A and B are shown apart, each in its own frame.
Chain A
Amino acid sequence: MSKAEPLRLHVPEPTGRPGCATDFSYLRLSPAGAVRRPEVDVAPMETRDLAYALVSVLDPEGNAVGPWVPEIDIEVVRKGLRAMMKTRIFDSRMLMAQRQKKMSFYMQSLGEEAIGTAQALALNVDDMCFPTYRQQSILVVRDYPMVDMICQLMSNERDPLKGRQLPVMYSVKKAGFFSISGNLATQYIQAVGWGMASAIKGDTKIASAWIGDGATAEADFDTALTFAHVYRAPVILNVVNNQWAISTFQAIAGGEDTTFAARGVGCGIASLRVDGNDFLAVYAASRWAADRARRNLGPCLIEWVTYRAGPHSTSDDPSKYRPSDDWSHFPLGDPIARLKQYLIKVGAWSEQEHEETQKRLEAEVLTAQKEAEQYGTMASGHTFSPAEMFDGIYKELPEHLRVQRQQLGI
Chain B
Amino acid sequence: MSDIPNRKPETGAFFARDRAWHPPGLTPGYKTSVLRSPQKALLSLDGTLSEITGPVFGHAMLGELDNDLIHNFARPGGSAIGERIIVHGRVLDERARPVAGALLEFWQANAGGRYRHKKESYLAPLDPNFGGCGRTITDENGFYSFRTIKPGPYPWPNGVNDWRPAHIHFSVFGHGFAQRLITQMYFEGDPMIWKCPIVQTIPDRAAIEQLVAALDWGSTIPMDARAYKFDIVLRGRRSTLFENRMEGN
Is the A/B pair a real complex? no
Residues of chain B at the chain A interface (Cβ within 8 Å): none
